[in-house]
Structure 1
Amino acid sequence: MANTRSAKKMVRKIARRTEVNKARRSRVRTYVRKVEEAIASGDKSAAQEALKAAQPELMRAAGKGVMHKNTSSRKVSRLSKRVGAMA
């Protein structure tokens, strides 16, 4: 357990940051899931709209440090490739 005042403060800060990051990660997963559901249903226009909403969310997560920049870029790329491949 933290003993010094600064260590106790860091514990509080880390706990707050963890909550925020958890919420952001959950939000990203929700947007990605919406795109995947639209792809599974076969509705190309809905998939494109969902991708358009998910893309800024993924890049925002990368900007905030929730995930690595390359990870979010890879996810956007793979999702857009799947949406583009739809009939």
Structure 2
Amino acid sequence: MANIASARKRARQAQKRYFLNKAHRSRMRSFIKSVTKATEKGDLEGAREAYRKAVPVIDSMVNKGILHKNNAARTKSRLNARVKALSQASA
């Protein structure tokens, strides 16, 4: 354990940040999972709506520094590809 007051404070801050980041990451993954589940069910409208809701959440994780911008772009691209494939299959 840290002996210096500033080191103790940094340890407290790191722990607080860890739990906040963990909650944000979990929330983002839940939104991603909702898109995935909708596409697996074959629910085109549900998938489109879930994708519309997931994109701003993923973007906000980039702004918070939880996710790298390229990782976010790749994730959004893959989700969009799933939605498009579903719309092509139903058309």
Mark yes or no: TM-score above 0.5. yes
* C-alpha deviation, 1:3, in angstroms: 1.2
- Counting only pairs closer than 5 Å after superposition, residues 1-80 of structure 1 correspond to structure 2 as 1-80=1-80
Taking the aligned partners of 2:74 and 2:34, their CA distance within structure 1 comes to 17
* C-alpha deviation, 1:67, in angstroms: 1.1
Cα deviations across residues 24-49 of structure 1 (Å, max 9, x unaligned)?
Answer: 00000100000000000001111000
Taking the aligned partners of 1:21 and 1:35, their CA distance within structure 2 comes to 22
Structure 1 runs of 4+ aligned residues shifted over 4 Å read none
Equivalent pairs counted in the alignment come to 87
TM-score (norm 2): 0.93
In structure 1, runs of 5+ residues without a counterpart are: none
TM-score (norm 1): 0.97
Q: Over aligned residue pairs, what C-alpha RMSD do you find?
A: 0.6
In structure 2, runs of 5+ residues without a counterpart are: none
**Paired residue type of 2:32:** V
Q: Percent identity?
A: 43
* C-alpha deviation, 1:70, in angstroms: 0.8
